[in-house]
Amino acid sequence: MSSPPRTACMNVDVDLSPLRATLEDAGVDGYLIDDDASDSDQRYLSGFTAPDSYQTLVTGDGIHLLVSGLEYGRAQSEAAADSVTRRAAYDYQELVGQYGPYEGKLRTIAAFLEDHGVDSIAVPRTFPTGTADGLREHGLEVTVESKGVVEEIRASKTPWERDQIRRTQKANEAAMARAEELIAAAEVADDGTLLADGEALTSERVKEAIEVTLLRHGCGLDDTIVACGADGSDPHDRGSGPLRAEELIVIDIFPRDTETGYFADMTRTFARGDPGEEARRRYEVTKEAYEAALEAVEPGVTGGAVHDVVCDVIEGAGYETLRSDPTTETGFIHSTGHGVGLDIHEQPSVSPAGGELEAGHVLTIEPGIYDPAVGGVRIEDLVVVTEDGVENLTDYRVALDPRSS
Protein backbone atom coordinates (compact mmCIF):
# COMPACT_ATOMS: atom_id res chain seq x y z
CA MET A 1 0.00 0.00 0.00
CA SER A 2 1.85 3.08 -1.16
CA SER A 3 -0.64 5.76 -0.13
CA PRO A 4 0.41 7.52 3.09
CA PRO A 5 -0.69 5.30 5.97
CA ARG A 6 -2.88 7.81 7.72
CA THR A 7 -3.70 5.37 10.49
CA ALA A 8 -0.06 5.39 11.53
CA CYS A 9 -0.10 9.15 12.10
CA MET A 10 -2.89 8.92 14.57
CA ASN A 11 -0.99 7.80 17.61
CA VAL A 12 1.42 10.72 17.61
CA ASP A 13 -0.55 12.70 20.16
CA VAL A 14 -2.03 9.76 22.02
CA ASP A 15 -1.23 9.62 25.72
CA LEU A 16 -1.06 6.03 26.97
CA SER A 17 0.05 7.00 30.46
CA PRO A 18 -3.36 6.14 32.01
CA LEU A 19 -2.99 2.61 30.62
CA ARG A 20 0.56 2.26 31.91
CA ALA A 21 -0.53 3.59 35.32
CA THR A 22 -3.28 0.96 35.39
CA LEU A 23 -0.75 -1.78 34.64
CA GLU A 24 1.51 -0.52 37.39
CA ASP A 25 -1.35 -0.33 39.90
CA ALA A 26 -2.38 -3.87 39.02
CA GLY A 27 1.22 -5.02 39.26
CA VAL A 28 1.18 -6.72 35.85
CA ASP A 29 3.79 -6.72 33.09
CA GLY A 30 1.65 -5.91 30.09
CA TYR A 31 -1.71 -5.34 28.45
CA LEU A 32 -2.70 -7.79 25.72
CA ILE A 33 -5.35 -7.63 23.00
CA ASP A 34 -6.14 -10.69 20.88
CA ASP A 35 -8.60 -9.77 18.16
CA ASP A 36 -8.81 -8.48 14.61
CA ALA A 37 -9.00 -4.82 13.66
CA SER A 38 -12.77 -4.79 14.19
CA ASP A 39 -11.66 -4.30 17.81
CA SER A 40 -11.16 -0.57 17.79
CA ASP A 41 -9.03 -0.59 20.94
CA GLN A 42 -6.57 -2.78 19.08
CA ARG A 43 -6.68 -0.64 15.95
CA TYR A 44 -6.12 2.43 18.10
CA LEU A 45 -3.18 1.02 20.07
CA SER A 46 -1.49 -0.70 17.13
CA GLY A 47 -2.19 1.87 14.41
CA PHE A 48 -2.78 -1.18 12.26
CA THR A 49 -5.71 -2.93 10.67
CA ALA A 50 -5.92 -6.47 9.34
CA PRO A 51 -8.81 -8.75 8.43
CA ASP A 52 -7.60 -11.64 10.57
CA SER A 53 -6.65 -11.81 14.22
CA TYR A 54 -3.39 -10.45 15.54
CA GLN A 55 -2.08 -9.57 18.99
CA THR A 56 -1.07 -6.22 20.46
CA LEU A 57 1.01 -6.12 23.64
CA VAL A 58 1.56 -2.87 25.54
CA THR A 59 4.39 -3.00 28.04
CA GLY A 60 6.14 -0.31 30.04
CA ASP A 61 8.59 0.21 27.20
CA GLY A 62 6.60 -0.15 24.02
CA ILE A 63 3.89 -1.54 21.77
CA HIS A 64 4.57 -4.97 20.27
CA LEU A 65 2.63 -6.75 17.54
CA LEU A 66 2.34 -10.43 16.69
CA VAL A 67 1.04 -10.95 13.15
CA SER A 68 0.72 -13.61 10.46
CA GLY A 69 3.33 -13.86 7.72
CA LEU A 70 0.77 -12.45 5.33
CA GLU A 71 0.53 -9.20 7.28
CA TYR A 72 4.16 -8.96 8.31
CA GLY A 73 5.44 -6.62 5.60
CA ARG A 74 2.49 -4.26 5.82
CA ALA A 75 2.59 -4.23 9.62
CA GLN A 76 6.27 -3.30 9.57
CA SER A 77 5.65 -0.31 7.33
CA GLU A 78 2.25 0.85 8.64
CA ALA A 79 1.81 -0.06 12.29
CA ALA A 80 2.46 2.44 15.07
CA ALA A 81 4.38 -0.23 16.99
CA ASP A 82 7.84 -0.49 18.47
CA SER A 83 8.25 -4.05 17.28
CA VAL A 84 6.48 -6.43 14.90
CA THR A 85 7.04 -10.19 15.11
CA ARG A 86 5.59 -12.78 12.79
CA ARG A 87 4.03 -15.94 14.20
CA ALA A 88 6.49 -18.09 12.26
CA ALA A 89 9.19 -16.81 14.65
CA TYR A 90 7.54 -19.03 17.28
CA ASP A 91 6.93 -21.98 14.91
CA TYR A 92 3.21 -21.30 14.67
CA GLN A 93 2.48 -23.68 11.77
CA GLU A 94 4.40 -26.51 13.41
CA LEU A 95 2.57 -25.96 16.72
CA VAL A 96 -0.78 -25.95 14.92
CA GLY A 97 0.22 -29.15 13.13
CA GLN A 98 1.19 -30.77 16.41
CA TYR A 99 -1.48 -29.44 18.80
CA GLY A 100 -4.30 -28.18 16.60
CA PRO A 101 -5.28 -24.56 15.88
CA TYR A 102 -6.51 -23.69 19.37
CA GLU A 103 -3.58 -24.94 21.43
CA GLY A 104 -1.13 -24.02 18.66
CA LYS A 105 -2.25 -20.41 18.83
CA LEU A 106 -2.04 -20.38 22.63
CA ARG A 107 1.52 -21.68 22.61
CA THR A 108 2.52 -19.11 20.02
CA ILE A 109 1.11 -16.27 22.11
CA ALA A 110 2.73 -17.69 25.27
CA ALA A 111 6.10 -17.72 23.49
CA PHE A 112 5.58 -14.15 22.28
CA LEU A 113 4.81 -13.01 25.86
CA GLU A 114 7.84 -14.88 27.22
CA ASP A 115 9.97 -13.25 24.54
CA HIS A 116 8.94 -9.86 25.91
CA GLY A 117 9.52 -10.90 29.53
CA VAL A 118 5.82 -10.83 30.36
CA ASP A 119 4.47 -13.21 33.04
CA SER A 120 1.28 -11.41 33.94
CA ILE A 121 -1.17 -9.51 31.79
CA ALA A 122 -4.20 -7.33 32.08
CA VAL A 123 -6.74 -7.84 29.30
CA PRO A 124 -9.81 -5.94 28.13
CA ARG A 125 -13.26 -7.16 29.13
CA THR A 126 -13.78 -8.35 25.56
CA PHE A 127 -10.59 -10.46 25.54
CA PRO A 128 -11.43 -13.99 24.35
CA THR A 129 -12.11 -16.32 27.28
CA GLY A 130 -10.55 -19.13 25.26
CA THR A 131 -7.23 -17.31 25.14
CA ALA A 132 -7.47 -16.12 28.77
CA ASP A 133 -8.22 -19.56 30.21
CA GLY A 134 -5.66 -21.17 27.87
CA LEU A 135 -2.88 -18.76 28.89
CA ARG A 136 -3.78 -19.35 32.54
CA GLU A 137 -3.23 -23.06 31.93
CA HIS A 138 0.21 -22.13 30.59
CA GLY A 139 0.97 -20.40 33.90
CA LEU A 140 0.26 -16.79 32.96
CA GLU A 141 -1.57 -14.54 35.32
CA VAL A 142 -4.52 -12.98 33.45
CA THR A 143 -6.72 -10.32 35.03
CA VAL A 144 -9.53 -8.33 33.47
CA GLU A 145 -9.06 -4.57 33.26
CA SER A 146 -12.70 -3.84 34.00
CA LYS A 147 -12.84 -0.05 33.89
CA GLY A 148 -12.20 0.16 30.16
CA VAL A 149 -9.13 2.38 30.39
CA VAL A 150 -8.40 2.23 26.64
CA GLU A 151 -11.98 3.23 25.85
CA GLU A 152 -11.51 6.14 28.25
CA ILE A 153 -8.30 7.21 26.51
CA ARG A 154 -10.04 6.90 23.15
CA ALA A 155 -12.94 9.11 24.28
CA SER A 156 -10.70 12.21 24.17
CA LYS A 157 -9.82 12.85 20.56
CA THR A 158 -6.48 14.24 19.46
CA PRO A 159 -6.61 17.16 17.01
CA TRP A 160 -5.74 14.68 14.23
CA GLU A 161 -8.68 12.49 15.17
CA ARG A 162 -11.08 15.45 15.26
CA ASP A 163 -10.01 16.31 11.73
CA GLN A 164 -10.76 12.77 10.59
CA ILE A 165 -14.21 12.81 12.19
CA ARG A 166 -14.94 16.24 10.71
CA ARG A 167 -13.93 14.90 7.31
CA THR A 168 -16.34 11.98 7.64
CA GLN A 169 -19.12 14.34 8.76
CA LYS A 170 -18.49 16.46 5.64
CA ALA A 171 -19.17 13.36 3.53
CA ASN A 172 -22.24 12.76 5.65
CA GLU A 173 -23.52 16.29 4.96
CA ALA A 174 -23.15 15.72 1.22
CA ALA A 175 -25.11 12.47 1.50
CA MET A 176 -27.84 14.08 3.60
CA ALA A 177 -28.14 16.92 1.08
CA ARG A 178 -28.55 14.40 -1.72
CA ALA A 179 -31.33 12.62 0.19
CA GLU A 180 -33.12 15.87 1.00
CA GLU A 181 -32.86 16.95 -2.63
CA LEU A 182 -34.55 13.73 -3.78
CA ILE A 183 -37.42 14.21 -1.35
CA ALA A 184 -37.79 17.91 -2.22
CA ALA A 185 -37.71 17.29 -5.98
CA ALA A 186 -40.14 14.35 -5.95
CA GLU A 187 -43.59 14.59 -7.44
CA VAL A 188 -46.53 13.69 -5.23
CA ALA A 189 -48.94 11.06 -6.59
CA ASP A 190 -52.67 11.26 -5.89
CA ASP A 191 -52.34 8.71 -3.09
CA GLY A 192 -49.54 10.71 -1.48
CA THR A 193 -46.66 8.50 -2.64
CA LEU A 194 -43.52 10.42 -3.61
CA LEU A 195 -42.43 9.80 -7.20
CA ALA A 196 -39.09 10.29 -8.94
CA ASP A 197 -38.69 9.64 -12.67
CA GLY A 198 -42.25 8.30 -12.68
CA GLU A 199 -41.56 5.59 -10.08
CA ALA A 200 -42.12 5.47 -6.34
CA LEU A 201 -39.31 7.16 -4.44
CA THR A 202 -38.60 4.39 -1.95
CA SER A 203 -36.50 4.25 1.18
CA GLU A 204 -34.25 1.86 -0.76
CA ARG A 205 -33.69 4.34 -3.61
CA VAL A 206 -32.83 7.16 -1.22
CA LYS A 207 -30.45 4.85 0.67
CA GLU A 208 -28.70 3.94 -2.57
CA ALA A 209 -28.22 7.63 -3.42
CA ILE A 210 -26.83 8.22 0.08
CA GLU A 211 -24.45 5.29 -0.22
CA VAL A 212 -23.18 6.24 -3.67
CA THR A 213 -22.53 9.78 -2.43
CA LEU A 214 -20.61 8.46 0.57
CA LEU A 215 -18.58 6.13 -1.61
CA ARG A 216 -17.50 9.00 -3.78
CA HIS A 217 -16.33 10.69 -0.58
CA GLY A 218 -14.25 7.69 0.50
CA CYS A 219 -16.72 6.39 3.04
CA GLY A 220 -18.52 3.14 3.49
CA LEU A 221 -21.39 2.20 5.71
CA ASP A 222 -23.14 -0.89 6.94
CA ASP A 223 -26.55 0.60 7.18
CA THR A 224 -28.58 3.75 6.81
CA ILE A 225 -31.98 4.65 8.14
CA VAL A 226 -34.54 6.23 5.82
CA ALA A 227 -37.78 5.58 7.67
CA CYS A 228 -41.15 7.07 6.79
CA GLY A 229 -44.28 7.20 8.93
CA ALA A 230 -44.69 4.31 11.39
CA ASP A 231 -41.31 2.85 10.33
CA GLY A 232 -39.68 5.89 11.86
CA SER A 233 -41.28 5.26 15.23
CA ASP A 234 -38.91 2.35 15.87
CA PRO A 235 -35.56 4.12 16.28
CA HIS A 236 -33.58 1.24 14.77
CA ASP A 237 -35.96 0.38 11.94
CA ARG A 238 -34.00 0.94 8.71
CA GLY A 239 -37.16 1.78 6.76
CA SER A 240 -38.42 0.31 3.51
CA GLY A 241 -40.90 0.90 0.71
CA PRO A 242 -42.34 4.09 -0.79
CA LEU A 243 -41.92 7.42 0.97
CA ARG A 244 -45.09 9.44 1.36
CA ALA A 245 -46.02 13.10 1.55
CA GLU A 246 -47.41 14.54 4.77
CA GLU A 247 -45.47 12.03 6.86
CA LEU A 248 -42.34 12.33 8.95
CA ILE A 249 -39.22 10.92 7.28
CA VAL A 250 -36.29 10.16 9.60
CA ILE A 251 -32.87 9.92 7.93
CA ASP A 252 -29.98 8.74 10.09
CA ILE A 253 -26.59 8.31 8.40
CA PHE A 254 -23.49 6.96 10.16
CA PRO A 255 -20.70 6.54 7.62
CA ARG A 256 -17.14 5.41 8.23
CA ASP A 257 -14.10 6.67 6.38
CA THR A 258 -12.73 3.61 4.62
CA GLU A 259 -9.13 4.57 5.12
CA THR A 260 -8.96 6.04 8.62
CA GLY A 261 -11.85 4.07 10.16
CA TYR A 262 -13.37 7.15 11.81
CA PHE A 263 -17.15 7.39 11.91
CA ALA A 264 -19.52 10.35 11.84
CA ASP A 265 -23.22 10.45 12.66
CA MET A 266 -26.15 12.71 11.85
CA THR A 267 -29.95 12.49 11.82
CA ARG A 268 -32.49 14.79 10.28
CA THR A 269 -36.26 14.56 10.12
CA PHE A 270 -37.90 15.78 6.93
CA ALA A 271 -41.44 16.08 5.70
CA ARG A 272 -42.82 16.76 2.25
CA GLY A 273 -45.98 18.79 2.77
CA ASP A 274 -47.65 19.18 6.15
CA PRO A 275 -47.18 16.16 8.45
CA GLY A 276 -49.93 17.44 10.74
CA GLU A 277 -50.08 19.53 13.89
CA GLU A 278 -49.04 16.83 16.36
CA ALA A 279 -46.01 15.86 14.23
CA ARG A 280 -45.00 19.50 13.92
CA ARG A 281 -45.35 19.94 17.69
CA ARG A 282 -43.14 16.90 18.32
CA TYR A 283 -40.56 18.31 15.94
CA GLU A 284 -40.51 21.62 17.84
CA VAL A 285 -40.22 19.88 21.22
CA THR A 286 -37.38 17.71 19.93
CA LYS A 287 -35.63 20.77 18.56
CA GLU A 288 -36.02 22.51 21.89
CA ALA A 289 -34.58 19.49 23.72
CA TYR A 290 -31.69 19.34 21.24
CA GLU A 291 -30.88 23.02 21.72
CA ALA A 292 -31.09 22.71 25.50
CA ALA A 293 -28.70 19.76 25.41
CA LEU A 294 -26.19 21.61 23.22
CA GLU A 295 -26.38 24.48 25.67
CA ALA A 296 -25.76 22.15 28.62
CA VAL A 297 -22.64 20.40 27.28
CA GLU A 298 -19.35 21.56 28.80
CA PRO A 299 -16.42 19.99 30.61
CA GLY A 300 -17.34 18.73 34.08
CA VAL A 301 -21.03 18.28 33.34
CA THR A 302 -22.04 14.62 33.36
CA GLY A 303 -23.64 12.80 30.44
CA GLY A 304 -26.39 11.97 32.91
CA ALA A 305 -27.07 15.67 33.54
CA VAL A 306 -27.26 16.41 29.80
CA HIS A 307 -29.67 13.50 29.40
CA ASP A 308 -31.78 14.91 32.23
CA VAL A 309 -31.99 18.25 30.43
CA VAL A 310 -33.45 16.47 27.41
CA CYS A 311 -35.88 14.45 29.54
CA ASP A 312 -36.99 17.64 31.31
CA VAL A 313 -37.95 19.30 28.03
CA ILE A 314 -39.68 16.23 26.58
CA GLU A 315 -41.55 15.30 29.78
CA GLY A 316 -42.43 18.98 30.25
CA ALA A 317 -44.18 18.88 26.89
CA GLY A 318 -46.23 15.89 28.04
CA TYR A 319 -44.40 12.96 26.44
CA GLU A 320 -43.05 9.87 28.18
CA THR A 321 -39.33 9.15 28.51
CA LEU A 322 -37.53 6.06 29.81
CA ARG A 323 -36.88 8.20 32.91
CA SER A 324 -40.59 8.76 33.57
CA ASP A 325 -41.50 5.17 32.59
CA PRO A 326 -38.69 2.64 32.06
CA THR A 327 -40.96 0.34 30.03
CA THR A 328 -42.52 2.91 27.71
CA GLU A 329 -42.47 2.08 24.01
CA THR A 330 -43.45 5.59 22.92
CA GLY A 331 -41.96 9.00 23.62
CA PHE A 332 -38.19 9.41 24.11
CA ILE A 333 -36.99 5.81 24.25
CA HIS A 334 -33.24 5.92 23.96
CA SER A 335 -30.22 7.79 25.31
CA THR A 336 -29.39 11.37 24.41
CA GLY A 337 -26.09 10.49 22.80
CA HIS A 338 -22.88 8.54 22.57
CA GLY A 339 -19.25 9.02 21.71
CA VAL A 340 -18.17 8.55 18.10
CA GLY A 341 -14.70 7.65 16.86
CA LEU A 342 -13.32 4.36 15.58
CA ASP A 343 -16.60 2.90 16.85
CA ILE A 344 -19.98 4.32 16.07
CA HIS A 345 -20.96 3.85 19.72
CA GLU A 346 -18.17 4.51 22.19
CA GLN A 347 -17.37 6.57 25.28
CA PRO A 348 -18.59 8.95 26.60
CA SER A 349 -22.21 8.03 27.20
CA VAL A 350 -24.87 10.73 27.30
CA SER A 351 -27.34 8.57 29.19
CA PRO A 352 -28.60 8.21 32.78
CA ALA A 353 -25.30 6.55 33.80
CA GLY A 354 -23.08 8.88 31.75
CA GLY A 355 -20.03 10.24 33.58
CA GLU A 356 -18.23 13.57 33.38
CA LEU A 357 -17.64 15.09 29.97
CA GLU A 358 -14.14 16.31 29.16
CA ALA A 359 -12.68 18.68 26.59
CA GLY A 360 -11.86 16.63 23.49
CA HIS A 361 -14.79 14.26 23.85
CA VAL A 362 -16.68 13.82 20.58
CA LEU A 363 -20.31 12.86 21.01
CA THR A 364 -23.78 12.97 19.49
CA ILE A 365 -26.77 14.88 20.79
CA GLU A 366 -29.84 13.12 19.44
CA PRO A 367 -33.15 13.50 21.21
CA GLY A 368 -36.25 12.06 19.56
CA ILE A 369 -39.93 11.38 20.12
CA TYR A 370 -41.61 8.24 18.76
CA ASP A 371 -45.10 6.86 18.35
CA PRO A 372 -46.37 4.50 15.65
CA ALA A 373 -49.53 6.60 15.32
CA VAL A 374 -47.58 9.77 14.49
CA GLY A 375 -44.18 8.55 13.30
CA GLY A 376 -40.73 9.43 14.58
CA VAL A 377 -38.78 12.64 15.04
CA ARG A 378 -35.05 12.68 15.74
CA ILE A 379 -32.47 15.44 15.43
CA GLU A 380 -28.83 14.47 15.80
CA ASP A 381 -25.64 16.51 15.63
CA LEU A 382 -22.05 15.48 16.23
CA VAL A 383 -20.11 17.82 18.52
CA VAL A 384 -16.77 18.11 20.28
CA VAL A 385 -16.56 19.29 23.88
CA THR A 386 -14.30 22.35 24.11
CA GLU A 387 -12.70 24.06 27.10
CA ASP A 388 -15.81 26.15 27.69
CA GLY A 389 -18.67 24.49 25.86
CA VAL A 390 -19.13 22.78 22.57
CA GLU A 391 -18.09 23.04 18.95
CA ASN A 392 -20.56 21.62 16.48
CA LEU A 393 -18.95 19.35 13.86
CA THR A 394 -22.22 19.32 11.93
CA ASP A 395 -23.05 21.92 9.33
CA TYR A 396 -26.59 21.14 8.28
CA ARG A 397 -29.89 22.97 8.76
CA VAL A 398 -32.00 21.43 11.55
CA ALA A 399 -34.60 20.50 8.93
CA LEU A 400 -38.19 19.36 8.54
CA ASP A 401 -39.64 20.58 5.28
CA PRO A 402 -37.81 20.20 1.98
CA ARG A 403 -38.79 23.42 0.15
CA SER A 404 -42.05 23.43 2.17
CA SER A 405 -45.17 22.63 0.15
Q: Tell me how crowded residue 208 is: count the other CB atoms within 10 A of its CB.
A: 13
Q: What angle do CA 42, 47, 51 make, to 5 degrees?
A: 65
Strands, sheet with 83-86, edge to edge from the N-terminal-most edge strand: 83-86, 62-67, 54-59, 30-35, 120-124, 141-145
Residue pair 378/286 in contact by the 8 Å Cβ criterion: yes
Question: What is the distance between the alpha carbons of residues 207 and 203, in angstroms, rounded to a whole number?
Answer: 6
Residues that bind a copy of itself (CB under 8 A): 1-3, 38, 50-52, 69-71, 73-74, 88, 93, 96-97, 100-102, 104, 123-134, 142, 144, 146-148, 208, 211-212, 215-216, 220-223, 231, 234-241, 258, 322, 326-327, 329, 333-334, 344-345, 349, 352-353
Q: Is 326 exposed, middle or buried (0-12, 13-18, 19+ CB in 10 A)?
A: exposed
Residue pair 258/220 in contact by the 8 Å Cβ criterion: yes
Smallest separation (angstroms) from a copy of itself to the CB of 271: 20
Smallest separation (angstroms) from a copy of itself to the CB of 377: 16
Smallest separation (angstroms) from a copy of itself to the CB of 270: 20
Smallest separation (angstroms) from a copy of itself to the CB of 193: 15
Smallest separation (angstroms) from a copy of itself to the CB of 48: 12
Smallest separation (angstroms) from a copy of itself to the CB of 244: 13
Question: Measured from the CB atom, is 21 or 212 closer to a copy of itself?
Answer: 212
Nearest CA-CA partner of 40 in 261, 220, 364: 261
Question: Measured from the CB atom, is 303 or 402 closer to a copy of itself?
Answer: 303
Question: Measured from the CB atom, is 230 or 359 closer to a copy of itself?
Answer: 230
How far is CA 33 from each of CA 28, 98, 106, 361, 368, rounded to the nearest angstrom? 14, 25, 13, 24, 37
**Secondary structure class of 125 (helix, strand, coil):** coil
Smallest separation (angstroms) from a copy of itself to the CB of 79: 13
Question: Measured from the CB atom, is 278 or 325 closer to a copy of itself?
Answer: 325
Residue pair 56/123 in contact by the 8 Å Cβ criterion: no
54 Cβ partners below 8 Å, 6+ apart?
A: 36, 37, 42, 46, 48, 65, 66, 67, 68, 71, 75
Question: Measured from the CB atom, is 1 or 388 closer to a copy of itself?
Answer: 1
**Secondary structure class of 238 (helix, strand, coil):** coil
Question: Measured from the CB atom, is 174 or 398 closer to a copy of itself?
Answer: 174
Smallest separation (angstroms) from a copy of itself to the CB of 340: 13
Question: Measured from the CB atom, is 14 or 378 closer to a copy of itself?
Answer: 378
Gyration radius of the chain over CA positions: 24
- DSSP secondary structure letters along 297-363: --TT-BHHHHHHHHHHHHHHTT--BTTT-TT-SSBB-S-SEEE-SSSSSEEEEESTT--B--TTBEE
Question: Measured from the CB atom, is 16 or 230 closer to a copy of itself?
Answer: 230
Question: Measured from the CB atom, is 289 or 400 closer to a copy of itself?
Answer: 289
Smallest separation (angstroms) from a copy of itself to the CB of 1: 5
Question: Measured from the CB atom, is 92 or 290 closer to a copy of itself?
Answer: 92
Smallest separation (angstroms) from a copy of itself to the CB of 115: 17
Distance from first CA to last CA of the chain, Å, rounded?
Answer: 51
**Secondary structure class of 394 (helix, strand, coil):** coil
